[in-house]
Amino acid sequence: MPDLSHELASAGIVAGIDEAGRGPWAGPVVAAAAIIDPANIPPGINDSKKLSPQKRDTLYEAIIKTCRWGVGSASVIEIDTLNILQATKLAMARALGNLGIVPDVALVDGNQPPALPCRVKTIIGGDGISLSIAAASIIAKVTRDRFMCELANEYPGYGWERNAGYGTPEHQKALASLGITRHHRRSYAPIKALLTPTELMMIE
């Protein structure tokens, strides 16, 4: 289970940062930053991928009430223009900017440090190690999943309320019958393969 070891080993205010949505074929990439209050930690915080949707939702509500947090995203256009790695770093910077405070240290999940106005420490598998990163992973995941549910109402048939834009068989079948929407990542190979020559020229 994640703990506060890395937070306590860092001097000053420490924020955890994580993202959700690097792999999906549709929708934005969303990042969150979270500063844990050591005196008021909701029990059960863990890597969002290891939690059920119901548990994530419950923890999300507890985290946003007890932590300082911020969310940022990068759009499909930004993903297609910059690439997913750079768009993820942009979303992380925006999440930190929405904290309302600049921490002394940012603990970032992964091994690719974004450009931030504070010291950055990357931690591979950080969402299973650091409580701050785990809290951020829950905020990012729930925020993005809820947004994809809203998009599913606008674009029914793709199953985004269930697959969050990932390339599931349901999503693939809908692409074949319904086509590509403006929320699909055209730089991603499975979507790019469905583009017309004219559409391909627009993204190259």
The boundaries of the domain holding residue 54 are 5-154
> What CATH number should be reported for the domain holding residue 39?
3.30.420.10
176 assigned to some structural domain: no
Backbone angles phi, psi at 51, to 5 degrees: -110, 150
Residue range 89-100, pLDDT digits in tens: 999 999 999 999
Judge whether 40 lies within some domain.
yes
**201, amino acid identity:** M
Q: Which residue has the higher pLDDT, 143 or 196?
A: 143
The answer to whether position 90 is within a domain reads yes
Q: In this model, does residue 201 exceed pLDDT 80?
A: no
Confidence band for 196, pLDDT divided at 50, 70 and 90: confident
Q: Say if residue 54 is exposed, middle or buried (CB neighbours under 10 Å; 0-12, 13-18, 19+).
A: exposed
Say what the pTM is.
0.95
Q: What does the pLDDT look like over 17-64, one tens digit per residue?
A: 999 999 999 999 999 999 999 999 999 999 999 999 999 999 999 999
Kindly state whether residue 117 falls inside one of the protein's structural domains.
yes
Cβ atoms of residues 88 and 22 within 8 Å: yes
**Region class of 100: left (phi > 0), else alpha (psi between -120 and 50), else beta:** left
- Residue 101 domain flag: yes
Classify residue 86: in a domain, yes or no.
Answer: yes
**In this structure, is residue 115 part of a structural domain?**
yes
Q: Which amino acid is at 198?
A: T
Average pLDDT over residues 75-96: 98
In a domain, 67, yes or no: yes
Q: Tally the domains of the chain.
A: 1
* 109-119 burial: b if 16+ Cβ within 10 Å, else e: bbeeebebeee
